[in-house]
Homo-oligomer: A and B are copies of this chain.
């Protein structure tokens, strides 16, 4: 995954624990450069338009044909709410105003941290970007739970729907743990103040 050549001089790297470190890194056998590989931040928006939410049907793999809220990798020199708004524009041609942090969800088995924001559709325009085949507004009762793209999407939408049922908006944190059995996941969920809801 990290590749086997040095980004600084092009020589082969080897996996070893650098001095003063406690994890294996790709270390250059020639110039000694250490390449660190770290988790990625995924940013996205649950977009509200009145009582409805904006969902995108994925036009690309993985999860082609399944539904998601707009989301993608945070870029350098970008804040996470700005990135969430950018991804929303790219995937659904929708301009949004960020309202708040809905959920910070760690997914350690794929080294991702999802930062999901609640946002409001500005105006009424939206439509499929290059990575979407269809974009639509859905009522909460019509969320296609069986056809969602990823566990992160299902988790964030479930937390959102539960909040809405209680007439509130909360900021959630949690960890999505793959339990080793196919596509089953366990969620460590935290409450409003971040206490683990055991």
Binding site for B on A (CB under 8 A): 2-12, 20, 23, 26, 33, 35-41, 73-82, 98-102, 104, 106, 108-109, 111, 113, 115, 117-118, 130, 169-171, 173, 175, 190, 192-196
Given contacts A12-B10, A171-B171, A193-B169, contact A79 B108 (CB under 8 A): yes
Contact pick for A77, options B3, B102, B111, B194, CB 8 Å:
B111
Given contacts A75-B23, A106-B80, A194-B118, contact A173 B101 (CB under 8 A): yes
Q: How far is the CA of A12 from the CA of B73 in the complex (A)?
A: 25
Q: How far is the CA of A113 from the CA of B73 in the complex (A)?
A: 13
Known: A6-B10, A38-B41. 19 other contacts (CB 8 A): A3-B7, A5-B5, A6-B7, A7-B7, A7-B26, A38-B73, A38-B74, A38-B76, A39-B74, A39-B78, A76-B111, A79-B175, A82-B175, A101-B104, A101-B171, A101-B194, A169-B194, A171-B173, A171-B192
